[in-house]
Structure 1
Amino acid sequence: MRGALLLFAAVALLTVGVASRAADPPAKAERIGLWNKHAPQGDGTFETADAFITVHRPEKASGAAVVSCPGGGYGGLVTGAEGHGIAAWLNKHGVTGVVLEYRLPKGRPYVPLLDAQRAIRTVRANAKAWGVDPAKVGIIGFSAGGHLASTAGTHFDGGNPKADDAVEKQSSRPDFLILVYPVVTMGVKGHGGSRTSLLGKQPDEKLVTLFSNETQVTAKTPPAFLAHATDDKAVVPDNSMAFYDALKASKVPAEYLELASGGHGLNGYRGPMWDAWQARSLAWLGERQFLPAHAGKK
């Protein structure tokens, strides 16, 4: 469903957006290194570095979990509003929020993807301990983090059953995607800064195609919810529209929510447009049976 949502401040859905503006994780959240300082770079080599997840567990778990990929143009990480704030909002609805601090690529295109895949596998490997249903592990991303989330949704595997590492035995396929003002393409309608940070200044066209995720959608791509403001100049809504159209062409369940205003970042992560995507995405998760049917109505 693609539709324009014309809302005004007087009808803002104030009950769902407040937590998203929190900046810091609560003390009870658990921060976990993913690679034990031996992180792959995607070319057979490793670096003495790490990526991290911070696990925010709700008081009453629904079984769903969402890995959150903050934006930042692949040159930084907006872990406050687009990370820990999102986890706090998810927790209010019984969802385990997992904030991913992925490594910045610096021209190494597989590095963030490897971190996102490892985060999804780690959640599944710890599903019982964290009160998570391994069939309800999704991913959400914003801006360049939306590119990473859409990359995870189009580049995945079923795990390695012969691996000694229990984490690597798990599938890296997310069960659903939520993409908010995402970068999707590495082509002319993409975000130049994100493309340079991810692929380098003069990328090979094969890499451009491989990481233009609208070209990578198949029938196995997870169901997706997208939201984008029509007046976003930094990352134009063509990114979301192209991915949505590709999903529909492959008969993948998808919904695209056009927001009437807000620009990139939706008025600084607050107001009616920010609240609108949150309410509708929760309802969509309920309709897809990843959350109880009443999700988004409280």
Structure 2
Amino acid sequence: MIDRRSALIGSLAAAAGAGFAGRAGAQTAPPHIEGGDVPAWPQPTETIDLWPDGAPGAPATPFEERVTERSEDGEVNDRAVDHVAVPRMAVFKPWRPNGASMLIMPGGGYIRVVIDREGYEMAQWLAERGFTCFVLFYRLPGEGWAAGPDVSLSDAQRAMRLIRHRAVDYAVDPARVSAMGFSAGGHLCADLATRFDARTYDAVDDADKLSARPQVAAPIYPVMTMKRPYAHEGSRTALIGADAGATLETAHSPDRNVKDNTPPCFLCHAEDDPAVPVENTLLFRAALKAKGVPVETHLFEHGGHGFAMRRVIGKPAGRWPELFLNWARTHEVLI
């Protein structure tokens, strides 16, 4: 007996072999240090450029992508990239796809994008559990792009639509595309969840006819409010400027933009976070509850900031990925 789920995934997987070969072109390599990368973990071999004719609204002066290795431990990488001129997704395929997919948005304070700790490691963990994962390297708002504070959201919206547009290529269910983000990437995840239908760029192809709404969203220890005293000053300055007024603050604070159709959200944060106060998560939770949006919230006594998975091994906060999976099942992310 073959159930409906197995039949769907099997047909998608069969189509993927035929479909991808005809649609893949030369794509930009994942961020790397030219001649200097020493990856400690398997690296993605496939990427998807977001914009077929180059990202819109490019700065007048071109720049080159820069990758920095911050780890002093040869057993793990902790790279970060800035000057992202070609926004793209790094793809992690599961051995047995379950039809679910995840767009992952690493943090970096909107001045860089973390590669390993909040990107590849999470993607590999989810891929081992059947998710097809797409790690997003998004443009940064302080680097002169015409879209300004909306430039990262433009890339997140476009990424969601491309995943759905190429669902057959990757054996995923277009209805089960979710989003997860960390720190400033958590802000981007929440921004996507609350403003997925905002027009931040002009359509470029048929993919842009599709919805950018995630099935569920998981902002993890997120930057949320742009309003003091709880705003993360570095992210706030990078996104809207140190002297931004109330209008800009509200426009770019996801807790002020929750709507009835915001997707269900999974939140987690450490109470001892020294960088992004836990109030950021609490403000978003309150806004979701006020609109009747389903939300699950986990607050941990210890964890600090930027813990992802590796920094909370053996601690209660280290259970959050499994808590997310259990919650995701209740919202039919996994079927």
TM category (shorter chain) comes to 0.7 to 0.9
For normalisation by structure 2, the TM-score amounts to 0.74
Q: State the distance in 2 between where 1:243 and 1:181 align.
A: 11
Evaluate the alpha carbon distance shift between residue 73 and residue 27 of structure 1 in structure 2; reply closer, same or farther with a 3 A threshold: closer
Identity of aligned residues (%): 41
Corresponding pairs, count: 265
Evaluate the alpha carbon distance shift between residue 216 and residue 163 of structure 1 in structure 2; reply closer, same or farther with a 3 A threshold: closer
Q: State the distance in 2 between where 1:181 and 1:147 align.
A: 9
Residue equivalent to 2:231: 190
In the alignment, structure 1 residue 31 sits paired with structure 2 residue 47: yes
For normalisation by structure 1, the TM-score amounts to 0.83
In the alignment, structure 1 residue 149 sits paired with structure 2 residue 193: no
- Deviation by residue 1:28-77 (Cα, 9 ceiling, x = unmatched): 54112111353234xxx777732010111111111111110000100111
Residue equivalent to 2:311: 269
Q: State the distance in 1 between where 2:288 and 2:103 align.
A: 21
Paired residues of 1:113 and 1:152 also in contact (CA < 8 A):
yes
Higher relative contact order (CA 8 A, sep 6+): 1
Structure 1 counterpart of 2:49, one-letter code: G
Residue equivalent to 2:328: 285
Q: State the distance in 2 between where 1:164 and 1:36 align.
A: 8
Residue from 260, 265, 269 that aligns with 1:224? 265
Structure 1 portions without partners, runs of 5+: 1-22, 293-298
Residue equivalent to 2:112: 76
Evaluate the alpha carbon distance shift between residue 59 and residue 146 of structure 1 in structure 2; reply closer, same or farther with a 3 A threshold: same
Paired residues of 2:222 and 2:276 also in contact (CA < 8 A):
yes
Deviation at 1:24, TM superposition (A): 6.8
Q: State the distance in 1 between where 2:44 and 2:268 align.
A: 31
Q: State the distance in 2 between where 1:74 and 1:164 align.
A: 25
Deviation at 1:157, TM superposition (A): 2.0
Deviation at 1:269, TM superposition (A): 3.0
Residue from 282, 285, 299 that aligns with 1:241? 282
Q: State the distance in 2 between where 1:86 and 1:209 align.
A: 31
Whichever of the two has the greater Rg, that structure is 2
After alignment, is 63-72 or 263-272 more displaced? 263-272
Residue equivalent to 1:58: 94
1:159-174 to 2 correspondences below 5 Å: 165-174=205-214
Q: State the distance in 1 between where 2:41 and 2:239 align.
A: 27
